[in-house]
Structure 1
Amino acid sequence: MSSKDVTQPEINEDASEGGATAGSFSDSQNSDSWSFKKENYSKQLKSWPHTGRHILAHYDESSIVVYQAYKASIAEFAVQNQRLGGPHFSFDRMSWIKTSFMWMMYRSGWAQKDHQEHVLAIQISRKGFDSILSKAYTMMKQKAARLETKDIEVRLQWDPDHDPHGEKLTRKAIQLGLKGKTLLDFATTYICAIHDITDYVHKQYQVLETRGVQDLETPLEQIYIPGDPKICELLDLDVQDNSKS
């Protein structure tokens, strides 16, 4: 899918939205004053691994950013209340989070797909994120552990990451589906701040369309490695010696 085709959804039913180090965070919640550290995409690309399963993320010593895309009513409630919820958000279905900005752009069509018109950058505690990771199971890991689906609160998917034009890459990006108490904890307890970055997303899409990928700017992302080796093993992470946590 090219960047010019973003209004034509390519739906992945399993991934649909439910209802310093790597950054410097601010207290503001709108994209015009969103002060997370950003970098030229092409420059970042040179430092990222080309293959393997990696958590590329924007993070600092205590928090990490995950992305979700929602319709306006859910996004507005989230920003105003600094938590997820409200009359249009469902805690009864799985809600997916992503750490890769570019994967979120692919999934939401640069915030142009139906019901994904608002992209939220949700800053959560690293302790909370690692707790989520510690409960994450792929279907294969679930079967190996002989667990029932009803017992899984975090579904892990390793999907191909994508470039700015929506083309698949060899490197895999992490996607986490949350439900039950884990979803409730994420939505209400782990959150440090919620930013609606839709304006920023639209501006960068215009840069991509008018000036090309060489001028595209994206949030600074580095490889994130959980502190607990058991989590790395559970996730089947490809750990590099020169990566920083």
Structure 2
Amino acid sequence: MTTSSAGPDGPACPVPAPRAPVDAAADGPAPLAEPQRRIRALYTERTVTVYQAYSPALGLPAARDGRFPAAWKRERMTWIKPSFLWMMYRCGWGTKADQETVLAVEIERDGFDWALRNACLSHYDAGEHADRAAWQRELKGAPARVQWDPERDLALRALPYRSLQLGLSGEASRRYADEWTVAIRDVTPLAREVHARVRAGETAAAAALLPGERTYPAPEGTPGLRRVS
């Protein structure tokens, strides 16, 4: 499944605030334990940035025009990822076939929240569903799916907590492409630079380049956050 877009013709995307280097603040207070699940994202009062990766044939026109081209299939499910490093894991730093163009898609928070409120978990969870049949009915009618995947570190190793992957189909996919998208940027150069720093062993420098993701205030009813995981 492919993912991500961003463009120069929409409102200017905010410059990402750098993350703190991973080896910084050794003398400071111990960091709070990560919750098992939370949404980590770069966002403003009005927009949130998600990532996808496409072939250059789709990704470059999207970034150039700031919107998805007609060739982008609106009837298919598309998966968006607020976590930059999870996207890097999925696309191999933009080296996998048909995922060579990494896009940052800035979308309206109202649309993102609508998708979360109307989503269903991609898998059955006895803590959230009355039974498997109820989950299947909900899944069939939902325009969005929530999946919680292990967050990744700079070496793309799985971490012991999870980040959001959001699948959009039907109404949600069409609205994402044609209503919610504010801007699309090609962040392939950023992916390559971070990867190069990682390979050179420059971990702190690589971490400082990452988008400034922070806890996103998920709307009430977000699947997977309805109970303590």
Scaled to the shorter chain, the TM-score interval is 0.7 to 0.9
Alpha-carbon spacing, 1:202–1:238, altered in 2? closer, same or farther (3 Å): farther
Q: What is the CA–CA distance in structure 1 between the aligned matches of 2:84 and 2:54, rounded to whole Å?
A: 15
Q: What is the CA–CA distance in structure 2 between the aligned matches of 1:64 and 1:47, rounded to whole Å?
A: 25
Counterpart mapping for 1:64-143 below 5 A: 64-87=48-71, 89-138=72-121, 139-140=123-124, 143=132
Q: What is the CA–CA distance in structure 2 between the aligned matches of 1:146 and 1:198, rounded to whole Å?
A: 37
The CA deviation at 1:42 is 1.3
- TM-score normalised by length of structure 2: 0.81
The CA deviation at 1:164 is 1.3
Instruction: Kindly provide the amino acid, as one letter, of the partner of residue 18 in structure 2.
Output: K
Give the structure 1 partner of residue 199 of structure 2: 209
* More helix as a share of residues: 1
Instruction: Kindly provide the amino acid, as one letter, of the partner of residue 54 in structure 1.
Output: R
Contact 1:51/1:170 (CA < 8 Å) preserved in 2? no
How many residue pairs end up in the alignment? Answer: 210
> How many percent identity over aligned positions?
30
Instruction: Kindly provide the amino acid, as one letter, of the partner of residue 177 in structure 1.
Output: G
| Secondary structure of the corresponding residue to residue 106 of structure 2 | strand
The CA deviation at 1:197 is 0.5
Q: What is the CA–CA distance in structure 2 between the aligned matches of 1:150 and 1:190, rounded to whole Å?
A: 23
Q: What is the CA–CA distance in structure 1 between the aligned matches of 2:142 and 2:37, rounded to whole Å?
A: 21
The CA deviation at 1:155 is 1.2
| Secondary structure of the corresponding residue to residue 147 of structure 1 | helix
Give the structure 2 partner of residue 17 of structure 1: 2
| Secondary structure of the corresponding residue to residue 159 of structure 1 | strand
Counterpart mapping for 1:1-245 below 5 A: 16-17=1-2, 28=8, 35-42=15-22, 49-87=33-71, 89-138=72-121, 139-140=123-124, 143=132, 144=134, 147=137, 149-216=139-206, 217-226=209-218, 228-229=219-220, 231-232=221-222, 234-236=223-225
Instruction: Kindly provide the amino acid, as one letter, of the partner of residue 216 in structure 2.
Output: Y
Alpha-carbon spacing, 1:97–1:129, altered in 2? closer, same or farther (3 Å): same
| Secondary structure of the corresponding residue to residue 107 of structure 1 | helix
Superimposed CA distance per residue, residues 23-54 of structure 1 (whole angstroms, 9 cap, x where no aligned partner): xxxx847xxx9833223441699867534100
Q: What is the CA–CA distance in structure 2 between the aligned matches of 1:193 and 1:48, rounded to whole Å?
A: 34
Alpha-carbon spacing, 1:125–1:170, altered in 2? closer, same or farther (3 Å): same
The ranges of structure 1 where at least 4 consecutive aligned residues each deviate by more than 6 angstroms after the TM superposition are 43-46
Q: What is the CA–CA distance in structure 2 between the aligned matches of 1:150 and 1:238, rounded to whole Å?
A: 22
Instruction: Kindly provide the amino acid, as one letter, of the partner of residue 236 in structure 1.
Output: L
Alpha-carbon spacing, 1:49–1:153, altered in 2? closer, same or farther (3 Å): farther
- TM-score normalised by length of structure 1: 0.76
Q: What is the CA–CA distance in structure 2 between the aligned matches of 1:184 and 1:214, rounded to whole Å?
A: 39
Instruction: Kindly provide the amino acid, as one letter, of the partner of residue 188 in structure 1.
Output: D
Alpha-carbon spacing, 1:94–1:47, altered in 2? closer, same or farther (3 Å): farther
Structure 1 unaligned runs (5+)? 1-15, 20-26, 240-245
Superimposed CA distance per residue, residues 185-229 of structure 1 (whole angstroms, 9 cap, x where no aligned partner): 001100111111001111111111113322212000100113x43
| Secondary structure of the corresponding residue to residue 159 of structure 2 | strand
Superimposed CA distance per residue, residues 90-144 of structure 1 (whole angstroms, 9 cap, x where no aligned partner): 2232110000111011111111111111111101111111011111111325744
Give the structure 2 partner of residue 4 of structure 1: none
